[in-house]
């Protein structure tokens, strides 16, 4: 008799955990942030001490600063916003050459504010591979020494909780988005840079940062339906990866899983992935860019937030991406980078919202709470069962 009873309570317990796993648990959800690049062409750039309030009023909890400035980092002290500071590509060679340059950078940008400003990570360069001249071998040979010097300099300062990484652009790093299972990192950096970098990330509990722009892949592949790129749910909006037997319902997941597959091929499976940039432009650089419009930008961002807040993850990674950063806070930030003139911002220069989107993605329907109740009822039953034996 006893065995059957205990197995039934075990069954109840397992069932309740099953229900709990369906819950929209806030801990497992992707941390959602925004990228910020000090505007260079805006006639009246927004004052830096207004940026923290702008970010939190959007319901975002993280910012990735592409052009760190001590005054801006200071503005984030005593806020709950986590920061990724990016070391501009320009500084990568000197930091690679000499650890005292790494220390100098940290003394200006980190030491005065940490830990009152929640600096979570430092990205050494942004898309450094594409920004440097062809001959990726030489740029690859700078990136790792620079990353190691920043890591060692942080240790010299006794700081152990800021992780160090760098960011890549999907189209420049990964061979293909489809099928995701066939994706690999492009040679030759795959061997010279990516594998040792992934080993460093594993050794230091750091994340892999990658810029994921479905817009760019959509533009390069005429056969991709727009709805697939914009998270629209239609029964015909899917692509099957025949190797893994996995069905994809949006391009974002396909790109994330392609990066995850490429990591697995390189021998590194479980490194957290951070989407360092993603978004959709509300206007294009060329007249032909008809899909760069405010309606599509709003659809993309709404779909992205709903997807990330659902906690469903991607087919290859149930827990999903660890963090995602929307590109970008204001239009017109990226004139200094040699990108086509497109507008990606989520705020107007006067700091009003461009889109009606609740980025905090709080549950508005009762659905999530109903599930919580069902899960809790099961848990109570399971505990009563356990206590009675």
Ligand X SMILES: *[C@@H]1O[C@H](CO)[C@@H](O)[C@H](O)[C@H]1NC(C)=O
Q: Is 204 in the site for ligand X (CB under 6 A)?
A: yes
Distance in Å, CB of 257 to ligand X, minimum: 24
Number of residues that bind ligand X (CB under 6 A): 9
Nearer to ligand X, 6 or 100 (CB): 100
- Kindly indicate which of the ranges 38-46, 65-73, 222-230, 348-356 contains the residues binding ligand X, using the contact rule CB under 6 A: 348-356
Site for ligand X in 92-151 (CB under 6 A): 98, 100
By CB atoms closer than 10 A (0-12, 13-18, 19+), residue 75 is buried
3-state secondary structure of 130: helix
Distance in Å, CB of 204 to ligand X, minimum: 5
Nearer to ligand X, 161 or 247 (CB): 161
Distance CA 291, CA 40 (A): 26
Nearer to ligand X, 98 or 138 (CB): 98
Triad 184, 131, 88: Cα angle to 5°:
115
Distance in Å, CB of 61 to ligand X, minimum: 10
Mutual orientation of helices 294-310 and 251-265 as an angle, nearest 10°? 60
Q: Is 348 in the site for ligand X (CB under 6 A)?
A: yes
- Figure out which of the listed residues 8, 28, 57, 205 binds ligand X, where binding follows CB under 6 A: 205
Distance in Å, CB of 253 to ligand X, minimum: 27
Distance in Å, CB of 228 to ligand X, minimum: 31
- Kindly indicate which of the ranges 20-28, 32-40, 274-282, 347-355 contains the residues binding ligand X, using the contact rule CB under 6 A: 347-355
Q: Is 360 in the site for ligand X (CB under 6 A)?
A: no
Interacting residues of 62 by C-beta distance below 8 A, sequence separation 6+: 31, 32, 33, 34, 81, 82, 83, 84, 120, 323, 325
Distance in Å, CB of 67 to ligand X, minimum: 23
Q: Is 232 in the site for ligand X (CB under 6 A)?
A: no
Distance CA 192, CA 144 (A): 10
Q: Is 79 in the site for ligand X (CB under 6 A)?
A: yes
Distance in Å, CB of 37 to ligand X, minimum: 19
Distance CA 102, CA 128 (A): 17
- Figure out which of the listed residues 235, 338, 352, 365 binds ligand X, where binding follows CB under 6 A: 352
Distance CA 210, CA 366 (A): 35
CB 231 within 8 A of CB 252: yes
Distance CA 120, CA 86 (A): 11
Nearer to ligand X, 163 or 167 (CB): 163
Distance CA 354, CA 345 (A): 8
Distance CA 279, CA 229 (A): 11
Nearer to ligand X, 53 or 380 (CB): 53
Distance CA 301, CA 364 (A): 17
- Kindly indicate which of the ranges 167-175, 293-301, 314-322, 345-353 contains the residues binding ligand X, using the contact rule CB under 6 A: 345-353
Nearer to ligand X, 18 or 155 (CB): 155
Nearer to ligand X, 218 or 330 (CB): 330
- Kindly indicate which of the ranges 170-178, 240-248, 314-322, 344-352 contains the residues binding ligand X, using the contact rule CB under 6 A: 344-352
Distance in Å, CB of 79 to ligand X, minimum: 5
Distance CA 73, CA 315 (A): 37
Distance CA 166, CA 144 (A): 9
Site for ligand X in 363-382 (CB under 6 A): none
Distance in Å, CB of 159 to ligand X, minimum: 12
The closest alpha carbon to 340, from 291, 292, 285, belongs to: 285
CA distances 311 to 213, 280, 357, 361, 375, Å, are: 20, 22, 18, 11, 16
Nearer to ligand X, 100 or 138 (CB): 100
Nearer to ligand X, 230 or 297 (CB): 297
Nearer to ligand X, 63 or 66 (CB): 63
Residue ranges in contact with ligand X by CB under 6 A: 79-80, 98, 100, 204-205, 348, 350, 352
């Amino acid at each position: 008799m006893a065995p059957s009873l205990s197995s039934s309570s075990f069954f109840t317990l397992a069932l309740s955990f099953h229900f709990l796993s369906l819950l929209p648990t806030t801990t497992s959800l992707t941390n959602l942030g925004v990228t910020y690049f000090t505007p260079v062409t805006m006639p009246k750039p927004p004052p830096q001490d207004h940026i923290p309030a702008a970010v939190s009023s959007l319901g975002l909890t993280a910012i990735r600063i592409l052009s760190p400035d001590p005054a801006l980092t200071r503005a984030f002290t005593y806020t709950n916003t986590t920061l990724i500071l990016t070391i501009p590509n320009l500084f990568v060679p000197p930091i690679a050459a000499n650890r005292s340059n790494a220390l100098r950078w940290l003394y200006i940008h980190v030491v005065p504010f940490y830990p009152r400003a929640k600096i979570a990570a430092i990205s050494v360069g942004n898309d450094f591979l594409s920004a440097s001249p062809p001959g990726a071998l030489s740029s690859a040979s700078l990136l790792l020494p620079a990353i190691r010097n920043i890591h060692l300099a942080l240790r010299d300062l006794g700081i152990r909780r800021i992780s160090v990484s760098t960011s890549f652009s999907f189209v420049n790093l990964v061979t293909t988005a489809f099928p995701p299972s066939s994706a690999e990192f492009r040679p030759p950096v795959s061997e010279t840079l990516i594998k040792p970098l992934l080993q460093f990330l594993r050794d230091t509990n750091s994340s892999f940062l990658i810029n994921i722009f479905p817009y760019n892949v959509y533009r390069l592949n005429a056969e991709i339906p727009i709805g697939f790129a914009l998270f629209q749910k239609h029964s015909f909006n899917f692509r099957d990866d025949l190797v893994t037997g996995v069905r994809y319902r949006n391009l974002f997941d396909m790109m994330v899983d392609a990066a995850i597959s490429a990591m697995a091929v390189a021998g590194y499976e479980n490194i957290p992935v951070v989407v360092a940039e993603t978004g959709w432009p509300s206007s294009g650089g060329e007249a032909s860019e008809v899909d760069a419009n405010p309606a599509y930008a709003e659809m993309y961002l709404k779909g992205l937030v709903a997807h990330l807040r659902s906690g469903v993850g991607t087919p290859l990674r149930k827990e999903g991406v660890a963090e995602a950063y929307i590109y970008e806070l204001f239009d017109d930030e990226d004139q200094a980078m040699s990108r086509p003139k497109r507008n990606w911002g989520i705020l107007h220069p006067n700091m009003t919202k461009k889109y009606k989107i609740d980025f905090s993605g709080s549950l508005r329907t009762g659905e999530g709470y109903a599930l919580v109740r069902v899960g809790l009822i099961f848990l109570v039953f399971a505990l009563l069962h356990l206590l009675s034996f």
